[in-house]
Structure 1
Amino acid sequence: MPIIRPISDLRNNFSSISEIAHSDNEPVFLTKNGIGDLVVMSLEYYDQQLAKLELYQKLNEAREEIKRGAKGKNARKVLESLIQS
């Protein structure tokens, strides 16, 4: 369930917002006059999201290459070669 707090909490209870973002490892959505305005997240969560985005982009590039006729490698053989290295 999303964590939603008024934007005034950022000024009045910054430590609480920071603690929530770190302990729950989830973004905190801040509202202004009842409407979504900002998202606050820990650096750890931000880094995780960037890593996911990069992975999805690479998977999409691989899919596009396969559509254009690129040949893949046998995953089992690749893993075996990594283990032997």
Structure 2
Amino acid sequence: MPTIRPSADLRNKYHEISEFCHQYPEPVFITKNGQGDLAVMSIETYEMLTGKKELYNLLDEGLKARDAAQVEPANEVIADIRKSLKK
């Protein structure tokens, strides 16, 4: 169940929200006039989420390259890298 708090709590209960965000790896949803307005989370959670997104983007890029036959076999790539390192 998501944690939902009114915007006044950012001002009046910041410490409580901060503690929650550091204790649980999930956002706290902040409402303004009863409507969703912000999502607040710890830096650690934010970095984890953006890291996952970056990984998924790289995996998707690799799958698209594979499907378009724009990839080389791994053993050939490794052999090329070894050659360049010996120079």
TM-score, L = length of structure 1? 0.81
Are the equivalent residues in 2 in contact too, given 1:30–1:39 (CA < 8 A)? Answer: yes
Aligned residue number for residue 83 of structure 1? none
Per-residue deviation, residues 8-49 of structure 1 (Å, max 9, x unmatched): 000000000101111112110000111000111000000100
Q: Which has the larger radius of gyration?
A: 2
Query: Does 1:11 pair with 2:11?
Result: yes
Percent identical residues: 49
Distance 1:25 1:68, change over 3 A: same
Q: Which runs of 5+ in 2 are unaligned?
A: 76-87
Runs of 4+ with >4 A deviation: none
TM-score, L = length of structure 2? 0.79
Q: Which runs of 5+ in 1 are unaligned?
A: 75-85
Distance 1:31 1:23, change over 3 A: same
Aligned residue number for residue 83 of structure 2? none
Q: Determine the C-alpha separation between the residues in 2 that align with 1:24 and 1:48.
A: 13
Q: CA deviation at 1:73?
A: 3.7
Q: CA deviation at 1:71?
A: 4.2
Query: Does 1:42 pair with 2:42?
Result: yes
Are the equivalent residues in 2 in contact too, given 1:4–1:29 (CA < 8 A)? Answer: yes
Amino acid at match of 1:28: V
